[in-house]
Amino acid sequence: MDLDVGALKLLLLCLAALSAGFVDAIAGGGGLITLPALLTAGFPAHLALGTNKGQSVFGSGAALVRFARAGLVDKQLAKVAFPFGLMGAFGGAALVLLLRPEVLKPLVLVLLIAVAVFLAFRRTPPKREGVEPSPRPRAQAIGALIALVIGTYDGFFGPGTGTFLIVAFSSLLGHGLARASADAKVVNFASNLASMALFALKGVVLWKVALPMAAAQFTGAWLGAHVAVKGGDKLVRIVVLGVVAALVLKLGHDVWGNWTAA
């Protein structure tokens, strides 16, 4: 399917992708910017979803590389988190055919509010130099479960995936928020890659838009990951709370609209 996109519209979409990449690298939630931007630009829903995944995979990949270069990615944990995230996303995409994603909105809304409370009152763990590997094999089993469950959620529905991953790695493995952001990008890249592959096979990625947006997303994500590395847990906490607030408002509006329309 093709769609006429003018130069000005493409430029605005690229600016949205740049901003989304920056925010997503730190706290997740980049789709809150790019998906509405694509829909506002006149993209049909399925084409907007496919094109969004086509460009966002480059952002999560860029952030992952930057975090890895900073020494924040636990390579042993990543070896199990990546494939389980990939499998989860494929499974989640298959679930879409059986169940409407809209049924998850009220549940996700409650979970996001719980996330905000957790982050607001959580004590910051002691700062450690580099990555101190978690005990094996317990950490790998927990990491694989996190990747599978949240990867499935991302393939099925998606909003808040990066934020849920950060909170899961932080709370269940005791990682600081900056390191948890790095762990999250491993799974996020895997789930984005799986989703992009499925959308591309269905022919619903508009590459003439996705690729310029991908370049902007890549740049924003690289800068965002750099800021997260330098800013540490305090900055990540602030940005995550901001993203959670935006997600709560967005999903709350959607749920309220569904109730009033019923």
Q: Label residue 1 by pLDDT band (50, 70, 90).
A: low
Write out the DSSP string of 132-155: -PPPTTHHHHHHHHHHHHHHHHHH
Query: Residue 160, by phi and psi: left (phi above 0), alpha (psi -120 to 50) or beta?
Result: left
Q: In 3D, which of 186, 175, 158 has the Cα closest to residue 236?
A: 175
Is 138 or 61 the better-scoring residue by pLDDT?
A: 61
Q: Residue 251 to residues 31, 113, 158, 168, 209: CA-CA distances in angstroms?
A: 13, 11, 12, 20, 27
Whether 215 is in a domain gets the answer yes
Q: CA 136, CA 200: separation in Å to the nearest integer?
A: 37
Q: Residue 119 to residues 124, 185, 219, 221, 244: CA-CA distances in angstroms?
A: 9, 19, 28, 23, 10
Whether 24 is in a domain gets the answer yes
Give me the pLDDT at residue 97, please: 63
Whether 236 is in a domain gets the answer yes
Polymer length in residues for the chain: 262
**Residue % of the chain over a pLDDT of 90:** 36
The model's pLDDT over 66-90, given as tens digits with 9 standing for 90+, comes to 999 989 898 889 999 999 999 999 8
Whether 2 is in a domain gets the answer no
Whether 1 is in a domain gets the answer no
Give me the pLDDT at residue 225, please: 92
Whether 20 is in a domain gets the answer yes
Average pLDDT over residues 143-171: 88
Average pLDDT over residues 11-22: 94
Q: CA 85, CA 88: separation in Å to the nearest integer?
A: 5
* Number of structural domains found in the chain: 1
Give me the pLDDT at residue 134, please: 52
Q: What is the DSSP letter of 122?
A: P
pTM comes to 0.81
Average pLDDT over residues 101-109: 65
Whether 179 is in a domain gets the answer yes
Contact 177, 237 (CB under 8 A): yes
Q: Residue 250 to residues 45, 62, 78, 225, 236: CA-CA distances in angstroms?
A: 17, 27, 31, 25, 21
Question: Is pLDDT at 145 greater than 80 in this prediction?
Answer: yes
Give me the pLDDT at residue 249, please: 83
Q: Return the H-helix or E-strand segment holding 172.
A: helix 161-173
Question: Is pLDDT at 33 greater than 60 in this prediction?
Answer: yes
Residues of the domain holding 52 = 7-124+133-261
The model's pLDDT over 219-262, given as tens digits with 9 standing for 90+, comes to 999 999 999 888 877 788 788 778 778 877 877 777 777 677 65
Question: Is pLDDT at 178 greater than 80 in this prediction?
Answer: yes
Q: Label residue 135 by pLDDT band (50, 70, 90).
A: low
Q: Cβ-count burial of 170 within 10 angstroms (0-12 exposed, 13-18 middle, 19+ buried)?
A: buried
Q: In 3D, which of 112, 95, 115 has the Cα closest to residue 103?
A: 95
Give CA angle at 186 (181, 191), nearest 5°: 115
Q: CA 190, CA 155: separation in Å to the nearest integer?
A: 10
Q: Label residue 153 by pLDDT band (50, 70, 90).
A: confident
